[in-house]
Amino acid sequence: MSTPGKGTLKTRRIQRSCDKCRASKVRCDGPGPGGSCSHCSSFGEPCTYEAPARPRGPKSKLVEDLRRENATLRSQLEALLCTQCSRPLQLSQPYESISPEPSPPHLYQHDTPDTDRSYSEPERRPPQPLPPKSVASHVLPEDSDEVNGELAVHFGSISIAGMRGGLFGSASSFALVRRLALVKARYLKRPITLNKERQIYWERPPWEDAFYKQRPRYHYPEPDLIDSLVKLYFENIHFFLPLLHRPSFERQVAERLHLSDSKFGATLLAVLGLASRYSDDPRVLIDGNTLSSGWLFVVQVQTIQNFFEPTVHDVQFYCLMTLYWLGTSAPHTAWLYLGIGVRFLNFRGERDQRRDTPKWDEELWNRAFWAFFALDRLVCTFLGRPALIHMEDHDVDPPLAIDDEYWDRGFVQPLATPSLVCYFPQYLRLSEILGDALNQLYAPEKVKIQRGWTTEQGQETVGELDALMNNFLENVPAHLRWDPERPTSVFFIQSAMLSIAFFYIKITIHRRYIYIDTRAALSKPALHSCLDAARAALSVMEVWLSRTERLPLPFLQNPMLVSATVLLLNIFVSMHAGAADPAVVKRDLAQVGTAIKFFKICETRWQAAGRLYEVLSGLQSLDEDGGTPPPPPPRAPRPPRPANSVPTAQPYSNSAQPYRSGSHDEQQQYVSQLRGGLGLEPGTSIEQLLAETPALEGSENLMSLWMLPNDVMNVDQSWYQSGAGAERMRHRAARSGAVGPSPVYM
């Protein structure tokens, strides 16, 4: 065996940066042939390694996780010893304080890679004894993590059936009791144990227990229809509102979990109801009316289910029902489902980061929270109501832009594969800007007075919001930027929806100042910004309708309504002021026709869209008798569908009768007031005309288009409990050629 010579020995590379590279915070490639790294060689600097190496400490999050886990295990062990042998566990460092975890970065901020972050070992200090005559100085604040996290330590095994710590906030009376328990435990130097001598006050009574244990009876369609509708849901809704996890959801459906778990069954019925809007199968309809798509499924589930502690399926159900009700005859009902779902999130304690939740379940909860966040901004803007979710009250991580199939692969999205759910974080950034605009620009006058709101502050706020919008536009991923020449795909639809949402929020920011005093500096620029954004949004929709037959989501109804209304306002006030350009009027009317065509397509499945179609059609008319404009041009014939293909939606179907509501005279009164009934002199500027427009007498009647009498909205659940609904479903299934009875949850 020969000994290798000197020249063949490999020099061990130094595994740290040189002093110069460390000071400059650049990557060091180690000593080269000349003994210097490339950075030092290029600048002629000596390459030294004299500074002592500082070991990189563990990540702060890992340290906090270990501390919390240690505190949890300690509390469990103490409670066990107290109940078994009545002796507390003697600790060398009792009740060590736990520092809260820092909040996640704002969605506007960009995350820094881990390689660029510097972590250091947290300073460890020995426990300080309490001064004998000082108590108040050591009383922790009520919202302290130590107070919330150590309740189990001080109360031992005491628990109240149906109640958990996440339900109570720092303002509750329990927070004060927690603080008292902590102070007493430190004074006694042992955990506090309370005897539950009267169990009747700590347990659920039998009459309530019988109510909670009631199991609903759900009637499901045939397996082939379930599979078809589940596929339609993930193809038409999931990529725009990623609430569920497709592989696990489809696996649970295949395992027939809905037959044994009523909560999952309710979520499945909501999925079937939403997907029915995109299905041609007659089994999803009532008496062949396409407006009834999915009603057979969603009507079975009670609005308030018998629950003890909300699960992720409960939250998913209310999120899906919020989206479904936006297309019914009472879209304002979606606001109620939205509120229930948000309260369920609060019940779980989403404002406190949970450490005992697996990564998989945690991401499902995160998806549910952000889905509610997006719907909250959408529904509350539609109704003109304050937002229900305030980010300062929640500590939730941003959603991951990782496709469902990579959850089983360590939650890592390949760099070369754009994520199909990357659209959602971008949409949430727009939703945050929209929420800021609603909170600041559309706050009640009393709130503005309390804030000391001035015109200058309004100008600054609009400028800040515009800057956020421009920053968003600069950071949109390439595959989500609007390109009318992009091939028709999921990315084409996502980029169109993102662009329309962008222009809609642009209008929302500026339209507040169309109606203010024309001497204000924002009036004329606000009108021009709204007009440009409205035309851009309708141009995107025009390309959409010419390229795809996909039934649009209800997200787009409000943007299309607002865009068309802005153009019509400009047309009529221009005509009244004698400043109308015939070419501009003709072009804008054509774009309003795009919005009308959009609602005409949607009215076959979304009942609210039929009302908006009639409202815009009446307001668009320029003739004196208010005749309805010509209908939109017919669509091109659809190509034949293979026999084995999954049914798709027919948005142009004429089987549904349009909903007729509101009188023609009320719509004409609105038009006549805009046209010449305002008592303004000829030559009045457009901005002044808009600023001096009085409230319309018929506005309440127009608003009532969204409301129905209470007796109409009382849905009788007994229709299914009596078996009439199930019998009708089986009758239609037999008529359509389906074989076998419908599965029933027992």
Q: Mind giving me the DSSP string for 425-442?
A: HHHHHHHHHHHHHHHHHS
Residue that has been written with the tokens 């759910």 in this structure:
421
Give the model confidence (pLDDT) of 726-738 as tens digits.
455 545 444 444 3
Higher pLDDT, 160 or 245: 245
Q: How confident is the model at residue 56 (pLDDT cuts 50, 70, 90)?
A: low
620 and 506: one domain? Answer: yes
User: Amino acid identity of 385?
Assistant: R
61 lies in some domain: no
* Residue range 477-489: mean pLDDT, rounded: 92
Q: How confident is the model at residue 562 (pLDDT cuts 50, 70, 90)?
A: very high
Higher pLDDT, 732 or 32: 32
559 lies in some domain: yes
User: Amino acid identity of 75?
Assistant: S
DSSP 652: T
Q: Phi, psi (5° rounding) for residue 744?
A: -125, 130
40-44, 245-249, 507-511, 550-554: least confident range: 40-44
485-489, 551-555, 709-713: least confident range: 709-713
64 lies in some domain: no
E-state strands within 48-205: none
* DSSP-assigned beta bridge partners for residue 316: none
Domain end position, chosen among 169, 203, 237: 203
Query: Are the C-beta atoms of residues 567 and 531 closer than 8 Å to each other?
Result: yes
pLDDT at 714: 40
581 and 542: one domain? Answer: yes
428 lies in some domain: no
* Residue range 487-516: mean pLDDT, rounded: 90
Higher pLDDT, 415 or 648: 415
Listing DSSP states for 214-278 in one string gives -----B---HHHHHHHHHHHHHHTTTTS--S-HHHHHHHHHTTGGGT-HHHHHHHHHHHHHHGGG
| C-alpha dihedral sign at 354, 357, 363, 367 | negative
pLDDT at 140: 44
Across 86-95, 113-122, 181-190, 687-696, the highest mean pLDDT is recorded for 181-190
How many residues are listed for the chain in this entry? 746
Q: Find the Cα–Cα–Cα–Cα dihedral 601, 602, 607, 611, rounded to 10°.
A: -60
Residue 504: which of 470, 547, 536 has the closest Cα? 536
- For residue 194, the enclosing domain spans 69-96+136-203
pLDDT at 596: 96
pLDDT at 83: 42
* DSSP-assigned beta bridge partners for residue 46: none
480 and 520: one domain? Answer: yes
Residue 281: helix, strand or coil by DSSP? coil
282 and 148: one domain? Answer: no
pLDDT at 576: 81
702 lies in some domain: no
Which residues have a Cβ under 8 Å from the Cβ of 17 and sit 6 or more positions away? Answer: 27, 28
Let me know how many helices (H) and strands (E) the chain has, helices first.
28, 0
- pTM (2 d.p.): 0.65
pLDDT at 615: 92
DSSP 482: -
* Residue range 337-342: mean pLDDT, rounded: 91
Q: At what angle do helices 490-510 and 557-577 cross, to 10 degrees?
A: 50
The structure tokens listed for 21 are 């590279």
477 and 598: one domain? Answer: yes
Q: Measured in whole angstroms, how far is the alpha carbon of residue 390 from the centre of its chain?
A: 12
* Residue range 87-106: mean pLDDT, rounded: 40
Q: Is the pLDDT of residue 581 over 70?
A: yes
101 lies in some domain: no
Separation CA 503–CA 485 (nearest Å): 20
Query: Are the C-beta atoms of residues 476 and 540 closer than 8 Å to each other?
Result: no
Task: Return mean pLDDT, the chain.
Answer: 72
* Residue range 448-467: mean pLDDT, rounded: 84
Across 205-219, 474-488, 649-663, the highest mean pLDDT is recorded for 474-488
DSSP 286: B
Residue 154: helix, strand or coil by DSSP? helix
User: Amino acid identity of 470?
Assistant: N
Q: Is the pLDDT of residue 373 over 50?
A: yes
How is the chain split among helix, strand and coil, in percent rounded to 5?
A: 55, 0, 45
196 and 252: one domain? Answer: no
H/E segment holding residue 530: helix 523-547
* Residue range 430-459: mean pLDDT, rounded: 84
* Residue range 617-632: mean pLDDT, rounded: 61
589 and 481: one domain? Answer: yes
Separation CA 13–CA 33 (nearest Å): 12
Q: At what angle do helices 490-510 and 423-441 cross, to 10 degrees?
A: 10
Q: How confident is the model at residue 308 (pLDDT cuts 50, 70, 90)?
A: low
Q: How confident is the model at residue 623 (pLDDT cuts 50, 70, 90)?
A: low
199 and 215: one domain? Answer: no
Residue 466: which of 430, 506, 513, 525 has the closest Cα? 506
Higher pLDDT, 505 or 746: 505
H/E segment holding residue 461: helix 455-474
Which residues have a Cβ under 8 Å from the Cβ of 615 and sit 6 or more positions away? Answer: 662, 667, 702, 705
Separation CA 703–CA 718 (nearest Å): 32
Residue that has been written with the tokens 């919001």 in this structure:
465
Q: Is the pLDDT of residue 233 over 90?
A: yes
pLDDT at 391: 82
156 and 290: one domain? Answer: no
Q: How confident is the model at residue 515 (pLDDT cuts 50, 70, 90)?
A: low
* Residue range 201-226: mean pLDDT, rounded: 86
Q: Phi, psi (5° rounding) for residue 109?
A: -85, 155
DSSP 283: G
549 and 411: one domain? Answer: no
pLDDT at 203: 82
User: Amino acid identity of 170?
Assistant: S
Which residues have a Cβ under 8 Å from the Cβ of 23 and sit 6 or more positions away? Answer: none
H/E segment holding residue 655: none
Span between the terminal Cα atoms of the chain, in Å = 79
Query: Are the C-beta atoms of residues 305 and 266 closer than 8 Å to each other?
Result: yes
Q: Is the pLDDT of residue 350 over 80?
A: no
Conformation bin of residue 105: beta by default, left when phi > 0, alpha when psi is -120 to 50: beta
Domain end position, chosen among 203, 236, 251: 203
CATH of the domain at 50: 4.10.240.10
The structure tokens listed for 663 are 């009188």
Query: Are the C-beta atoms of residues 514 and 690 closer than 8 Å to each other?
Result: yes
Query: Are the C-beta atoms of residues 457 and 532 closer than 8 Å to each other?
Result: no
Please list the alpha-helical segments (H only) found in 349-454: 359-383, 423-441, 445-451
247 and 339: one domain? Answer: yes
Which value, in Å, is the radius of gyration of the alpha carbons in the chain?
31
Residue 368: which of 347, 385, 386, 383 has the closest Cα? 347
Query: Are the C-beta atoms of residues 146 and 97 closer than 8 Å to each other?
Result: yes
* DSSP-assigned beta bridge partners for residue 219: 744
The structure tokens listed for 620 are 């668009």
476 lies in some domain: yes
640 lies in some domain: no
Give the model confidence (pLDDT) of 656-709 as tens digits.
333 333 344 443 443 343 333 333 343 334 444 444 444 343 444 444 444 443
Burial class of residue 649 in the structure, from the number of CB atoms within 10 Å of its CB (0-12 exposed, 13-18 middle, 19+ buried):
buried
Query: Are the C-beta atoms of residues 147 and 141 closer than 8 Å to each other?
Result: yes
506-515, 600-609, 708-717: least confident range: 708-717
Residue 225: which of 551, 650, 647, 640 has the closest Cα? 647
Which residues have a Cβ under 8 Å from the Cβ of 683 and sit 6 or more positions away? Answer: 577, 578
Query: Are the C-beta atoms of residues 523 and 514 closer than 8 Å to each other?
Result: yes
Separation CA 209–CA 132 (nearest Å): 49
User: Structurally, how many domains does the chain consist of?
Assistant: 4
The structure tokens listed for 246 are 């497709």
DSSP 95: T
Separation CA 408–CA 354 (nearest Å): 22
Separation CA 707–CA 605 (nearest Å): 18
Residue 109: which of 429, 409, 399 has the closest Cα? 429
273 and 240: one domain? Answer: yes
